[in-house]
Amino acid sequence: MINTVEQQFRSYSQIVGEIPDNLESEKFITVERVPPIKVYSLGFQPAKFIPEIPRWFLKKYADPDFTILDPFCGSGTTLLEAIQQNISAYWLDYHPLSCLICQVKTTVFSTQEILEATTQIIEKTSTQKFAPATINFSNKDFWFQQPVQEGLELLREQILLAESSLQPLLWLAFASTVRKTSNMNDGMILAARRSHIEKIPIRSRSDVFQYFQHYVKQSIEAFVEWNPFLNKFDAKIQQLSSQDARQLPEQLKVDAIITSPPYINAIDYVWASKFELHWLGLVNSNQERLNLYSKEIGTERIPKQECKELGKTGYLHLDRLIEDIYYGKRYQATSGQNQLRSRVVYQYFMDMKSHFLQSLKVLKKGGYYCFSVGDVSNICGVEIPVASLLSEIAFDLGFKQIFTFNLLLKNRRLNLPRNVNWAGTIKHDTTIVLEKLN
């Protein structure tokens, strides 16, 4: 007898390479991927979607004169696809590190100039005795050894003096250096003190400089491959001035939105990138970092008083689920956690509703909204069918669902840091294509 997982797996359409244009709607698929070019992996982004998804959408639905928007741009996967298919794109993300990553990936860099600037930086930092102390944040000494702090400070000082057009790429290599030389174990997403932290090697200043050189080299290799695509691209990529997907500029008009919104209750992007935010000077205090987190869709930073109130979205099924979490029908957590989680879910869907309303304004008539999101999130034991609920809300506002498929997730590390009793893992990414009706 075969077990249910195996049975389930056999019912998936197993795709090798690209998702075909003629895929039937409602399918469950697995994708065996051809390794992508290096530029995709530049920059830290814990919940990327696979490029095959936006690529599939663009091949199936886009005309050559299409203009698209990604309002939750993350590490810029959609932009890389738009560039390769010569399609104009607008983008935004509320997170400054994501913005840096997208800026870098959409700019042509002279690999020679980067190399020269890096050699100069390393020469100067290696001979400096005195290191300033300009960066401060909570638990800095726990996560960064003293020589590492000095090395990072010296690098910062020199990057700030480098040619301004080269700085974004240098900052991105610096960001990877920060993560690597911290006392986090490789593969850890959140900086949380845990019992299973492995022994961390003692590091010197020169280890920091070596890692920086390593990450610059990685970027250079990526740009040797990527520059030819950028040079050939003659459409337009533009960052919007808005940094919030709930506020899109009124005058903007696009043919399609292609995106993957935040996963409910899965990744706290600000916590996950706390070190980079501070070391790159993207936030200047702990308070500024927390304020940034409040702007995230799916944030858990909600005033206690608000959490006491049971949220009502007006969507019957969703409201029942929100109530189940609130009253701990499936799982009674301690110290107000049920109320908090319930409010997080309520706020997430209300924020996504505001975002859909804004999207309707910027989409042309008949325009598409394609999104990919985890199919189900388990919150306090309550299964929230996120993808289908979002589609239901979108339908209510003036979209019609025209296509969907489910991709089996492999090796996706989401929800790791949470109490396993009340936070489950996401099994599929559901992709849904909506069409604007009027």
Ligand X SMILES: C[S@@+](CC[C@H](N)C(=O)[O-])C[C@H]1O[C@@H](n2cnc3c(N)ncnc32)[C@H](O)[C@@H]1O
Does 74 participate in binding ligand X (rule CB under 6 A)? yes
CB nearer to ligand X: give 94 or 211: 94
The minimum distance between CB 360 and ligand X, in angstroms, equals: 17
Using only C-alpha atoms, the chain has a radius of gyration, in whole angstroms, of 22
Does 429 participate in binding ligand X (rule CB under 6 A)? no
117 phi and psi, to 5 degrees?
Answer: -60, -40
Does 49 participate in binding ligand X (rule CB under 6 A)? yes
> What's the N-to-C CA distance of the chain in angstroms?
52
- Answer for which of 94, 143, 271, 348 binds ligand X (CB under 6 A) is 94
| In contact, 279 and 156? CB cutoff 8 Å | yes
Does 72 participate in binding ligand X (rule CB under 6 A)? yes
The minimum distance between CB 92 and ligand X, in angstroms, equals: 6
398/55 Cα distance (integer angstroms): 25
Does 347 participate in binding ligand X (rule CB under 6 A)? no
| In contact, 56 and 432? CB cutoff 8 Å | no
Give alpha helix (H) positions in 144-187.
146-161, 167-181
Query: Binding to ligand X (CB under 6 A): which residues in 106-135?
Result: none
Q: What is the dihedral of CA 75, 76, 78, 82, to 10 degrees?
A: -160
The minimum distance between CB 202 and ligand X, in angstroms, equals: 34
Strand partners, 431: 372, 405
Does 387 participate in binding ligand X (rule CB under 6 A)? no
- Answer for which of 151, 262, 328, 367 binds ligand X (CB under 6 A) is 262
Does 399 participate in binding ligand X (rule CB under 6 A)? no
Does 265 participate in binding ligand X (rule CB under 6 A)? no
Does 295 participate in binding ligand X (rule CB under 6 A)? yes
Burial class from Cβ neighbours inside 10 Å (0-12, 13-18, 19+) for residue 304 reads exposed
153/146 Cα distance (integer angstroms): 11
Sequential DSSP letters for 19-35: PPTTPPTTEEEEEEPPP
Q: Which stretch binds ligand X (CB under 6 A): 94-102, 283-291, 307-315, 325-333?
A: 94-102
308/324 Cα distance (integer angstroms): 14
- Answer for which of 67, 75, 176, 177 binds ligand X (CB under 6 A) is 75
| In contact, 364 and 254? CB cutoff 8 Å | yes
The minimum distance between CB 245 and ligand X, in angstroms, equals: 4
Nearest to 178 by CA among 49, 272, 39: 272
- Answer for which of 27, 38, 48, 217 binds ligand X (CB under 6 A) is 48
- Answer for which of 15, 19, 31, 45 binds ligand X (CB under 6 A) is 45
Q: Which stretch binds ligand X (CB under 6 A): 4-12, 70-78, 342-350, 357-365?
A: 70-78
342 phi and psi, to 5 degrees?
Answer: -60, -40
CB nearer to ligand X: give 244 or 375: 244
Does 47 participate in binding ligand X (rule CB under 6 A)? yes
Q: Which stretch binds ligand X (CB under 6 A): 18-26, 168-176, 244-252, 420-428?
A: 244-252
Query: Binding to ligand X (CB under 6 A): which residues in 354-373?
Result: none
190/186 Cα distance (integer angstroms): 11
81/89 Cα distance (integer angstroms): 10
The minimum distance between CB 277 and ligand X, in angstroms, equals: 12
Q: Count interface residues toward ligand X (CB under 6 A).
A: 23
Which stretches of the chain bind ligand X, using CB under 6 A?
A: 45, 47-49, 71-72, 74-75, 77, 92-95, 98, 244-246, 260, 262, 269, 295-297
